[in-house]
Amino acid sequence: MTDPMAPLAATRANRTPAILIAVGAVLTALFIAAPLLVIFDQALSKGIDVYRANILHPETLHAIWLTTLTALVVLPINIAFGVTAAWAITKFEFRGKRLLLTAIDLPFSISPIVAGVSYLLLYGGLGLWGPWLMDRDIRIMFSVPAIFLVTMFVTSPFVARELITLMQAQGREREEVAATLGASGWQMFRRVTLPNIKWALLYGAVLCNARVMGEFGAVSVVSGNLRGQTNTLPLQVQLLYHDYNATGAFAAASVLTLLAFVTLILKAILERKAFDRRS
Amino acid sequence: MGIDIQQLGKNFGKQPVLRGVDLTIADRELVALLGPSGSGKTTLLRILAGLEWPDRGDVVVNGQSWLNQPPQLRKVGLVFQHYALFEHMTIAENIAFGLRVRDRKTRPSDATIMAKVEELLSLMELAGLGQRYPAQLSGGQRQRVALARALAIEPQVLLLDEPFGALDARVRRDLRRWLRSIHDRLGMTTVFVTHDQEEALEIADRIVILNEGQIVQIGTPEEIYDHPATPFVQRFLGGVNEIPVGVFAGRVQVDGIEPRFLSSLATANNGATLFIRPQDIDVSPAAADGIATIQTVSFLGDQARVELAMDGDETIIEAELNRVQMRDDKLDRGQRVHVKARHGRLYQNDVACTAQP
């Protein structure tokens, strides 16, 4: 006959996942879905016309533009930095390799506010190089270049980190074979390394982009918060909120959220592609 | 192309990996670098490939030092244990890689490259697989692709790092015979690294045995097998019995084993170690007058490995016996036996001190 323990084992096996899933679903609803819904609910609370007017407000439009511009400037630089750093670290031996690895992780481990303040202390009017720059009429702090600089600093590890893990796992034998077959450094990178890392590279770029667009702390220290000039979207959200313009703030926030959704969808597609290739 | 390796030394940090290696490899020779892991054999191969540089010494080819040549200019074919194929390229593209990366002046035409690829595919018995991807091939096929890719640049020297280590036993046997025939047909110099003594003994012209960054012995497979220079070599070539013995008045004293082959010993009275291979031991049934008891019998196919517990100090000696003969002689666990050694080598202070009988 059947094993007397079987029914018990079966119910237990059936119930545990259900409980875990329920807990997960409730937590997700409470802490992730609800705040997102509130954003759109608040943004649209005075009707779609007010929402449209809020987004089309010149200052908000400028903030959207500045955020996009920051991504367009910072992302390529950090991709280039990430790829070269990861290539050097994983495919070659050199002195100071560990130091470089630690330096790459540094922006992850210090608070963005601290990063902003240290840039202020270097480039600001009272900072280390400030007077020298001021003599030459170069203004970095409280202007758009400052936003680029700190964003670059804060988001620099994303691409490199993503690639280093993968490239370490892949080893360097393929590159070594390519070298003995006569490939130059560039050919080695272009034909052998790059095809093997492209999905991870895109994935790293997507993560980096999300952080570039959302960065608040460091940017708020160095931007100077000049309306319509040096306000990125996250800063604009805060500004509108402090102006008691909640609908405006949430409208701007909804734009950021939509950008985040686009990023997430891209990431999901990339992950699936990478997974398909591996299996 | 002959290679002259002179006084090669290399450290990784404070750890020496090569300690003064001298080796001359003749043109068209097939040399096996044999040693345990950490013996420096792979480092030596990588220095030949131009992937590592030594701290001391030189590698001279055609009268010129190779050390100021990058790997791109050495014309060496390199094959790794795990194939290192370019997974995103077809088999044909993999093989063509070394020709495609040449600059415009020296690059062959597309038609020439395709013809070369087809030629190599059929040489490697891979015809018809050119449009597949590496992931679609078996391990043995992948390793042949790796070899074809290395051969496409018509290398003067072929370097292989544990080339058959990742393959199962049957494929490994087939492939190593086949490597030998490719080597003979194409007439290059081949150096391969292995830790598998069977592989080295079977296909190499000469074997170089390395231990702790130094060459312990160089010789043909017969020389190495019949005259191992040190206990290390003897142990490395496979399971061997080590029996501590006394030497007195030129005679080895070892209870009951009757080492007849040691009749003419000219050595000081001292302790020594007698090495006897399991297949060189004869066992015959005895009544009460035997000198050992069969303790375990394990199945090896036609042969069986038998552990003999010697009377007295209960030393365990391993013998490999023919199973048919064991059945005829009714040898089984618990049986009392006589033990005789046909062959063996005596070492004193790590130096061989016997001639063969």
Predicted confidence (pLDDT) per residue in A24-36, tens digit: 999 999 999 999 9
Chain B residues in contact with A179 (beta carbon < 8 A): 50-51, 70-72
Contact of B72 with chain A, judged by CB distance below 8 Å, is answered with yes
Query: Which of B71, B86, B102 lies nearest to residue A179, judging by beta carbons?
Result: B71
Closest chain B residue to A196, measured at CA: B88
Chain A residues in contact with B74 (beta carbon < 8 A): 180
What burial letters (b/e) apply to A11-35, b meaning 16+ CB within 10 Å? eeeeeeeeeeeeeeeeeeeeeeeee
Contact of B134 with chain A, judged by CB distance below 8 Å, is answered with no
Contact of A267 with chain B, judged by CB distance below 8 Å, is answered with no
Chain B residues in contact with A196 (beta carbon < 8 A): 87-88
CB contact under 8 A, A182 and B86: no
- Range B41-45 average pLDDT: 96
Contact of A170 with chain B, judged by CB distance below 8 Å, is answered with no
More confident residue, A276 or A139: A139
Helix (H, G, I), strand (E, B) or coil at B193: strand
pLDDT over threshold 50, residue B76: yes
| pLDDT number for residue A149 | 94
| pLDDT number for residue A234 | 93
Chain A residues in contact with B80 (beta carbon < 8 A): 173, 176-177
pLDDT over threshold 90, residue B79: yes
- Range B198-212 average pLDDT: 95
pLDDT over threshold 50, residue B355: no
Mean pLDDT value across chain A: 88
Provide the 8-state DSSP code for A193.
I
What does residue B251 show for φ and ψ, rounded to 5 degrees? -115, 140
H helix or E strand, kind and range, residue A186: helix A185-187
For A52-66, A236-250, B173-187, B265-279, which range has the lowest pLDDT when averaged over its residues?
A: B265-279
Predicted confidence (pLDDT) per residue in B88-97, tens digit: 999 999 999 9
Chain A residues in contact with B50 (beta carbon < 8 A): 179-180
List B242's β-bridge partners, or say none: B275
Predicted confidence (pLDDT) per residue in B134-172, tens digit: 999 999 999 999 999 999 999 999 999 999 988 888 889
For A94-108, B28-42, B186-200, B232-246, which range has the lowest pLDDT when averaged over its residues?
A: B232-246
Closest chain B residue to A192, measured at CA: B86
| pLDDT number for residue A34 | 94
Query: Which of A178, A180, A182 lies nearest to residue B102, judging by beta carbons?
Result: A182
d(CA A63, CA A91): 41
Predicted confidence (pLDDT) per residue in A3-17, tens digit: 555 555 555 567 888
List the B281-285 sheet strands across, edge first: B281-285, B336-341, B292-299, B303-310, B316-322
Sign of CA dihedral A189, A190, A192, A196: positive
Q: How far away is chain B from the Cα of A181, in angstroms, using its nearest Cα?
A: 5
Helix (H, G, I), strand (E, B) or coil at A67: helix
> Which ipTM score applies to this complex?
0.85
Q: Which of A91, A180, A199, A273 is the best mutation test for B, with the most CBs of B within 10 A?
A: A180
d(CA A156, CA A82): 7
| pLDDT number for residue B257 | 63
Distances (CA, A) of B7 to A125, B37, B44, B130, B213: 62, 21, 12, 44, 11
Contact of B55 with chain A, judged by CB distance below 8 Å, is answered with no
Closest chain B residue to A176, measured at CA: B51
